[in-house]
Amino acid sequence: MCELCKAGMNLHGPSTSRRNFLRGAFASAATAAFLPAFLSRPAAAQEMPTGVGETGRRTLIKGGHVLSQDPAIGDFTGDVLLEGARILEVAPSIDAGDAEVIDAAGRVVMPGFIDTHHHQFETALRSYLPNGIMFADPTRPGEPTYLDDILGKFSKVYRPEDVYIAQLFGGLSQLDAGVTTVLDVSQIHHSPEHSNAVIEGMQAVGRRGVFGYFEGYGPDLRYPQDARRIRDEYFASDDQLLSMLMGGEVYLPGVDPMELWNIGRDLDLMVGLHVVGSLGMRETMDKLIPHYTDKHLFIHMTGMSDAAWDRAQEVGAHISLSVPIEMQMRHGMPPIQKAIDMNMAPALSVDVECTMTADFFTQMRGAMTLQRALANQVALEDGQENAPALLHARDVLEFATVNGAKALKLDHKTGSLTPGKEADVILLDATALNVAPLNNAPGGVVTLMERSNVETVLVAGQIKKWKGALVGQNIPALREQITASRDYLFETADVEIPLFD
């Protein structure tokens, strides 16, 4: 008797083993014969079209599940027509003549995600601080903290070349995950050369971005006076992928925040700042209330007074929430319900990769599940009539796209699939094993998808990722560079890499 049959007898007993084994064998054979007729062969992968995004060139993204993020256009299975860098038409069916066609059947087609606060210079420090909190606590002696270790130790040994590769590698990683726009909060401006490296690294990524000019350290520091030189040299034109924001922190020793805010005003720049109640900023923010404007972006906004919130709402300031990080690192409870109650629907941001991933599926799920947990608890304790409305998947998609564009004053360019805007578009694979069969497009994106579902990415009409792979990038070589930078930073900061700690 064959060994497989013997094994079958051992498993099922001598009286039934052969019959059960043969029954299973015949069933397997029948299934194998049936499958080719039942399952169609996958279509051959479409080759990447050339010339997409060039002036006058038309491209039709055809047959996708369109989530436009524009209420005047709506959502439907249909087409998006591009001409050069811009969106020309969005409709259930478009006759585009000789346009290049991108087959989007089975894909969700939507605007790219917009990250309104990301410290990209920390890319080489990924996962270093998975269990840490923001500032020292006597109940956690000896454990690393963000302020002491990341800013107080590592950041001070960065060279311009470390800044550049961190910007490039971190930016490409987010582009790969469908984040087409970022506000880079680069607290690494130790010299003009460091500032230049930030910008040039962002340029090399080839996605839309806002350069956040925040603080630095050391004898070659030119912050904040170098802001005008940077603006004039790199951001004299609005007709480019990158723009500039002025850092306006209220906690920097020896720096008057009004000096920073006035520089932003004089250079016609937005002003962004961390607003963290657990760092004792409430009193300072209350004193600054008369100076809030619609060009302020308040990041975190934890622990602030009702007066500060009222003024922010009155002037049309914007809020950026980093919900997973705020929960993880002790910023205070993320004020997502406060923002909703104030009709100040927030934008989302990833904050620091030394502690948490920079993909936007994590951000959307974090925001949605926290708000629903809080609202559901109120319903359980106080009754449904007292509970806030529950966030839906469509709500957090707005946070992640059009709200981010509004927060960065870029909604005239991006954030929705609206004719006339620039074509920052992502195609998400809804036929993948973790999503199919797709029954609800917003829900599929928010509750099921991950970065592996980001199949194709366009920025201003240019294809940056095609069928799962970034275009024109040597990732192994870049990985060697970011690893070499990591090794230098740890060695110079006299810190061991805590691989298993």
pLDDT tens, residue by residue, 165-222: 999 999 999 999 999 999 999 999 999 999 999 999 999 999 999 999 999 999 999 9
Alpha helices in 383-474, H assignment, sequence order? 393-400, 402-407, 441-443
* Residue showing tokens 């049309």: 316
What letter would DSSP give residue 432? S
394: Cα separation from own chain's centroid: 17
Helix, strand, coil percentages (3-state) for the chain, rounded to 5, are 40, 20, 40
How confident is the prediction along the chain (501 residues), in pLDDT tens digits per residue? 444 334 443 434 444 444 443 344 444 444 444 444 444 455 567 899 988 999 999 999 999 999 999 999 999 999 999 999 999 999 999 999 989 999 999 999 999 999 999 999 999 999 999 999 999 988 878 778 999 999 999 999 999 999 999 999 999 999 999 999 999 999 999 999 999 999 999 999 999 999 999 999 999 999 999 999 999 999 999 899 999 999 999 999 999 999 999 999 999 999 999 999 999 999 999 999 999 999 999 999 999 999 999 999 999 999 999 999 999 999 999 999 999 999 998 999 999 999 999 999 999 999 999 999 999 999 999 988 889 999 999 999 999 999 999 999 999 999 999 999 999 999 999 999 999 999 999 999 999 999 999 999 999 999 999 999 999 999 999 999 999 999 999 999 999 999 998
| Cβ pair 419, 82 in contact under 8 A | no
Backbone angles phi, psi at 248, to 5 degrees: -130, 50
- At position 332, the amino acid (one-letter code) is G
Q: What is the value of pTM for the model shown? A: 0.91
Sign of CA dihedral 314, 347, 112, 373: negative
All structural domains of the chain, each given as residue ranges with its CATH number in brackets, are: 58-111+420-470 (2.30.40.10), 113-407 (3.20.20.140)
User: Using CA atoms, how far apart are residues 448 and 434, in angstroms rounded to an integer?
Assistant: 7
